[in-house]
Chain A
Amino acid sequence: MTSAPLLLTGATGFVGMEVLARVLEQSDRDVIALVRAPDDAAAQARVDDLLGMLVAPAVRPHRGRVRGVAADLESPDLGLSHAVRERIACSISAIVHCAASISFTLPIDGARRINVDGTREVVRLAMQAQDHGMLERFVHVSTAYVAGDRIGLVSEHDGDVGQGFRNTYERTKLEAEEVVRDSGLPAAIVRPSIIVGDSATGWTQAFNVIYWPLQAFARGLFPTVPADPRARVDIVPVDTVADALLALLRGPVRGGAFHIVSGDRAPTNRQVATMAAAAFDAEPPRFVRPGEDARAEERAGALLPYFRVRCTFDAHRARDLLGVTPPPLEEYFPSLMRYARQSRWGKQPSPRWGAGSTRRAA
Chain B
Amino acid sequence: MATTTTPQDVETTIVESLVTFGADPAEVKRDATLEAIDVDSLDLVELTQVIEETYGIDLDGADFTSIRTVGDVVDLVVTRIQG
Q: What is the distance, in angstroms, from A215's C-beta to the closest C-beta of chain B?
A: 6
Listed residue (B22, B41, B42, B46) with the most chain A CB atoms within 10 angstroms of its CB? B42
**Closest chain A residue, CB of each to CB of B49:** A221
**Interface pair B46/A219, CB less than 8 Å apart:** yes
A347 within 8 A of B: yes
Inter-chain CA distance A347–B18, complex, in Å, is: 13
Q: What residues of chain B lie closer than 8 Å to A219, measured between beta carbons? A: 42, 46
In the bound complex, residues from chain B placing their C-beta under 8 Å from that of A212 are 41-42
Contacts of B42 in A (CB 8 A): 212, 215-216, 219, 221, 345
* B49: chain A residues within 8 A (beta carbon): 221
The reply to whether A295 and B60 form a contact with Cβ atoms under 8 Å apart is yes
Interface size grouping (class) on chain B: 10 to 19
Q: Taking the complex as formed, is B57 at the interface, i.e. its CB lies under 8 A from any CB of chain A? A: no
For chain A, the count of residues having a C-beta within 8 Å of the partner chain is: 12
Min CB distance A200 to B, Å, is: 26
Query: Is the CB–CB distance between A221 and B45 below 8 Å?
Result: yes
21 contacts between A and B (CB under 8 A): A212-B41, A212-B42, A215-B42, A216-B42, A216-B45, A219-B42, A219-B46, A221-B42, A221-B45, A221-B46, A221-B49, A295-B60, A298-B60, A298-B61, A299-B45, A344-B22, A345-B42, A347-B22, A347-B38, A347-B40, A348-B22
Q: What is the interface of chain B, defined by CB distance below 8 A to chain A? A: 22, 38, 40-42, 45-46, 49, 60-61
Which residues on A are within 8 Å of B, measured CB to CB? 212, 215-216, 219, 221, 295, 298-299, 344-345, 347-348
